[in-house]
């Protein structure tokens, strides 16, 4: 069920997410976890509202469904990556797996020459990243550029954007980039159950003394093991992938650059997290130009 997927992600997930997004959604999460499950919860958003894909040929734009067979030749597919990212679709959001499928369909279509990801997201669950990264790489392997056009592009959303050929801020007022880091949280209901007269017993096999050890320590307020074994490897991988993807564009001596700091558009460009500021039309133009530039560079290199 769509509800159970969302419930599971909220309760057990590790997150590449801006903490402002966490704070902003706490009330909604409380209401979500308290409410009953209705028939509506069994339906994914994509089943009710197909992912809205926009097609552009540079001179004109036309709305599309989830298919590209009727797309005009040499179109750019504009795919929305909005809100908190989850691996699977729920009744209130599209899943990364669904969005990745659309990117792959665009990559396979002979009518699509480039892909633009319209990103406005503070991040999301760690397991939402791989499907979209794989889809971006697949599109690029088909010779199609993938450009990120971003307003808010933080944490998991930035992880994904870093794999694009270029990252373009949509404006100089609200566009932000960064929050390269990982966090997790979990509720401890022990005192609540005690007040209700419920005592929970957790028993491990003699042969399973290390099972859940980081979490058991964290429940006692000892966080070092869970940081070292659960969070630091993810944060380290995040940092290394961003460094590899952005290369010498990054000014790594910038305080907090890969340790969670956020940057508005102008500063993000200065430190290498973004490449330019431009309108949607500008981003579409760049998405269409990049494959042409690659062909020219390949030709020049072949002659040298």
Which helix or strand (DSSP H or E) is residue 267 part of? helix 265-271
Residue 135: CB partners within 8 Å, gap ≥ 6?
Answer: 99, 100, 101, 103, 104, 107
Pair 91, 41: CB distance under 8 Å: yes
DSSP 192-249: HHHHTT--------TT-TTTTHHHHHHHTT--HHHIIIIIHHHHHHHHHHHHHHHGGG
Rounded Cα distance between 259 and 159, Å, is 13
Rounded Cα distance between 35 and 29, Å, is 10
Measuring CA to CA, which residue among 164, 166, 104, 93 is closest to residue 131?
A: 104
SS3 state of residue 44: coil
Long-range contact pairs involving 187-190 (C-beta distance under 8 Å, separation at least 24): 188/219, 190/219
Pair 3, 91: CB distance under 8 Å: yes
165 DSSP 8-state letter: S
Largest CA-CA distance found in the chain, in angstroms, rounded: 80
pLDDT at 240: 98
pLDDT at 48: 54
Boundaries of every domain in the chain: 2-185+246-303
Half-sphere exposure of 274 (CA within 13 A, CB side): 31
Rounded Cα distance between 53 and 65, Å, is 6
Pair 45, 92: CB distance under 8 Å: yes
SS3 state of residue 128: helix
pLDDT at 130: 97
pLDDT at 58: 72
pTM, to two decimals: 0.85
pLDDT in tens, the chain (304 residues): 444 454 455 555 566 666 555 555 555 555 555 555 555 544 565 555 778 888 988 766 666 655 688 888 999 999 999 998 999 887 667 999 999 999 999 999 999 999 999 999 999 999 999 999 999 999 999 999 999 999 999 999 999 999 999 999 999 999 999 999 998 887 788 888 889 899 988 899 999 999 999 989 998 999 999 999 999 999 999 999 999 999 999 999 999 999 999 999 999 999 999 999 999 999 999 999 998 777 676 656 666 6
Domain 2-185+246-303 fold is 2-enoyl-CoA Hydratase; Chain A, domain 1 (3.90.226)
Pair 167, 153: CB distance under 8 Å: yes
Measuring CA to CA, which residue among 234, 235, 216 is closest to residue 225?
A: 216
Residue 138: CB partners within 8 Å, gap ≥ 6?
Answer: 103, 104, 107
Rounded Cα distance between 240 and 246, Å, is 10
């Amino acid at each position: 069920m769509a509800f159970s997927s969302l419930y599971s992600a909220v309760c057990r997930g590790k997150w590449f997410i801006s903490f402002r997004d966490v704070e902003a959604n706490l009330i909604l999460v409380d209401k979500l976890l308290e409410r009953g499950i209705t028939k509506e919860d069994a339906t994914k958003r994509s089943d009710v509202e197909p992912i809205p894909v926009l097609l552009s040929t540079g001179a004109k734009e036309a709305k599309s469904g989830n298919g590209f067979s009727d797309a005009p030749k040499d179109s750019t597919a504009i795919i929305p990556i909005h809100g908190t990212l989850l691996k699977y679709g729920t009744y209130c959001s599209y899943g990364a797996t669904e969005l990745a499928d659309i990117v792959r369909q665009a990559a396979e279509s002979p009518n699509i020459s480039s892909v633009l990801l319209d990103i406005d997201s503070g991040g999301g669950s760690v397991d939402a990243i791989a499907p979209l990264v794989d889809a971006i790489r697949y599109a690029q392997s088909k010779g199609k550029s993938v450009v990120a056009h971003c307003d808010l592009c933080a944490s998991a959303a930035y992880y994904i954007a870093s794999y694009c050929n270029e990252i373009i801020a949509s404006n100089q007022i609200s566009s932000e980039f960064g929050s390269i880091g990982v966090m997790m949280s979990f509720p401890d209901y022990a005192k609540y159950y005690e007040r209700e007269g419920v005592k929970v017993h957790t028993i491990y096999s003699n042969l399973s003394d290390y099972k859940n050890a980081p979490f058991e320590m964290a429940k006692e307020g000892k966080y070092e093991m869970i940081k070292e074994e659960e969070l630091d490897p993810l944060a380290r991988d995040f940092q290394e992938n961003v460094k590899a993807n952005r290369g010498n564009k990054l000014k790594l001596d910038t305080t907090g650059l890969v340790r969670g700091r956020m940057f508005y558009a102008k500063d993000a460009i200065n430190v290498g997290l973004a490449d330019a500021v431009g309108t949607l039309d500008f981003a579409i133009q760049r998405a269409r130009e990049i494959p042409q530039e690659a062909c020219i560079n390949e030709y020049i290199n072949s002659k040298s």
